Amino acid sequence: MKKFAITAAAATALTLTMASAFAETTQATQAPMMLAAGEVTEAKEDVSDTWITTKVKADLVTEKGIPGTDIKVETNKGVVSLSSMTKVTEAQKDTAVAIAKKIKGVKDVSADGLKAE
């Protein structure tokens, strides 16, 4: 019976220690989630711009007849900028702009950086 009491006491102590450690870990990971409203808006905007850039780039790369790997895509507050060191035809430029404009969240597209032949 003594062994059982010692084992039960050890198990209880271990459980309390683990619960305390878990509570501290949970508090440490939840603290950054408490952000001011402005910071949350900024974070959503950054994620949205990153998503737009990735989606535009992916669509350009998969489009036949477009040198998608040569076109640089940047997004700032929903405005997509396309540029390239490689010359493209006027039709390729128009297609690249049309592809970018179809992406959800794109407010405007600037293709001034695409050098047309």
Res. 71: pLDDT tops 90: yes
**Structure confidence by residue, pLDDT tens digits, 83-103:** 999 999 999 999 999 999 999
- The CATH fold of domain 35-117: Alpha-Beta Plaits (3.30.70)
Per-residue confidence (pLDDT) for residue 116, from 0 to 100 = 79
Does the structure show a pLDDT above 60 at 17?
Answer: no
Contacts of 10 (CB under 8 A, 6+ apart): none
Domain boundaries, the chain: 1-34, 35-117
pLDDT tens per residue, range 28-45: 455 455 555 555 555 566
Q: How far apart are CA 80 and CA 29, in angstroms?
A: 34
Q: What's the pLDDT band for 58 if we cut at 50, 70, 90?
A: very high
Q: How many CB atoms lie within 10 A of CB 75?
A: 25
